[in-house]
Amino acid sequence: MPGKLIEMNILRKKYRGEWGASMKAPRIVGALLAMVVAQAIAQKPVEFPLSNGPGQVQADLYGQGTRGVVLAHGGRFNKESWKKQAETLAHSGFLVLALGFRGDGLNPDGSPGAFGSTPDNAADVLAAVAYLHRIGAKTVSAIGGSMGGDAVGEADAASKPGNFDRIVLLGSAGGDSPEKLNGRKLFIVAREDRSSDGLRLPEITRHYERAPEPKKLVILAGSAHAQFIFGTDQGLRLMDEILRFLSEP
């Protein structure tokens, strides 16, 4: 594990422009990048029963270990959208499950779309948590982006304490019952992130204030929404914040 952290730190320095004028740096980075890619953990398609009716949930499993993480995507994404983040988490020692909601499908233009209800989405998250526990995870956390964050929050609020170790709500207020959230909570949002109703930050702040401790609110620069932040200049910081939160004792 320490070796992988060193590799990641070296790559971070490269992308932040901290290499200076060394001509060997590109070759070093290339070699390290090839090493990381060679060690990439391939995704494994899995399925497990719904928690509130007949049918199966589709998901992709990455990594191994006893610290599980469920990834719940936003309304304009699918389970495959988490691939880079899932591999990063898996390299950091987590057993990662990228969840596909039962209502996932395609928009008329062929882009991903999620069309299930919030209660069904929350039930799918609970089914994913139960699956990770069944295959050996001793603790399970969840990261939800936008719609997925609402599902994670609703699932956590409906659970007994201890079912979720900690949750990350990305660009999401976390459902309608923040006062019922359990465990550790991390709210992350871009300051200028807007919906058709206006800035998302005020509502997220209100839900954060109603949520019990322990909790943390991180406000990033920019206007990108939820998983879209990963594709901006705040993407590295976002991943660092998530890793730090999931890894701290």
Q: Which amino acid, one-letter code, is at 7? A: E
Q: What is the pLDDT of residue 28?
A: 53
Distance between CA atoms of 149 and 139, rounded to whole angstroms?
19
Distance between CA atoms of 69 and 62, rounded to whole angstroms?
10
Q: How confident is the model at residue 121 (pLDDT cuts 50, 70, 90)?
A: very high
Q: Which amino acid, one-letter code, is at 236? A: L
pLDDT higher than 80, residue 223: yes
If we measure between CA atoms, which residue out of 68, 96, 101 comes closest to residue 82?
A: 96
Between residues 105 and 96, the one the model is more confident about: 96
Distance between CA atoms of 212 and 152, rounded to whole angstroms?
16
pLDDT one-digit tens code per residue, 6-31: 444 544 444 444 434 444 555 555 54
pLDDT one-digit tens code per residue, 25-82: 555 555 445 445 444 577 899 999 987 778 899 999 999 999 999 999 999 999 999 9
Q: Which amino acid, one-letter code, is at 99? A: L
Distance between CA atoms of 20 and 52, rounded to whole angstroms?
56
pTM assigned to the model: 0.84
Give domain limits for the chain: 1-39, 42-247
Structurally, at CATH architecture level, domain 42-247 sits in: 3-Layer(aba) Sandwich (3.40)
Q: Tell me the backbone φ, ψ of residue 37, rounded to 5 degrees.
A: -65, -40
